[in-house]
Amino acid sequence: MFKYLSEKKNFIFGKENIYAIFLVIFIYSLDRFSKIKILNSFSEKTYILNNYINIDLIWNTGIGFGLFSFESSLIYNLISFIIAVVIIILFYIAFISKKKDKLIFSIILGGALGNFYDRLFYYAVPDFIDLHYLNFHWFTFNIADIFITLGIIAFVVKDFFVKI
C-alpha cells in the first residue's frame, strides 16, 4: 500500500508535471498582468498602436469570440459551470498525458484559467486586442485567448496531421 501511495506521489509531483504547472502559472500570470494593466490604464478611447492593431476594451460575457453571449444570468452561470468542469477534466488529462500532450494541455489550461478567473470576479472577460485590416475587424481577444487558440491548433495539428 505504501509503495502505491509513493508511486502516486511521484507521478503527481514528477518533473514533467511540475514543468506543466509552472507553464500554466506563467501563462495565467501573463494574462492577469496584461488585463490588470489594461483595466488600470484604459480610458474610454481606442488606442491605435499601428495600422493593424488597436487596444479597445470590450467586456465579453460569452465564450470564445463572444459566442453565446446572453443577458440571462442562468445561462451565464450554466456556461461558467460547464467551463469549470472542462477545466477540471483538462487538469486531469494534462496530468496523465505524455510530454507533448502535457505541454499542449498546459498552454490551453493557462489561458482557460485566466478567462475563468475573469468570469468569476468580473462576470465578463475583458478583451482588448483588436486586429484589423482597413474596415475588416477580427473578433477582439486577449492574451488568454491567444494561448487557448495556439493550444487547440497544436492539438489538432498533432493529432490529425503529425503521426508520431
Q: Which residues are catalytic?
A: 127, 145
Distances (CA, A) of 43 to 29, 38, 115, 149: 23, 9, 22, 28
Residue in the structure block whose three cell numbers are 491605435: 48
What does the buried/exposed string (b/e) look like for 29-39 if buried means 16 or more CB atoms within 10 Å of the residue's CB? ebbbebbeebe
Rounded CA separation 103/158 (Å): 12
Tell me the three-class secondary structure of 1-12, residue by residue.
CHHHHHHHHHHH
DSSP secondary structure letters along 4-39? HHHHHHHHHTSHHHHHHHHHHHHHHHHHHHHHHHHH
Measured at the alpha carbon of residue 9, what is the angle toward residues 6 and 12, in degrees to the nearest 5? Answer: 150
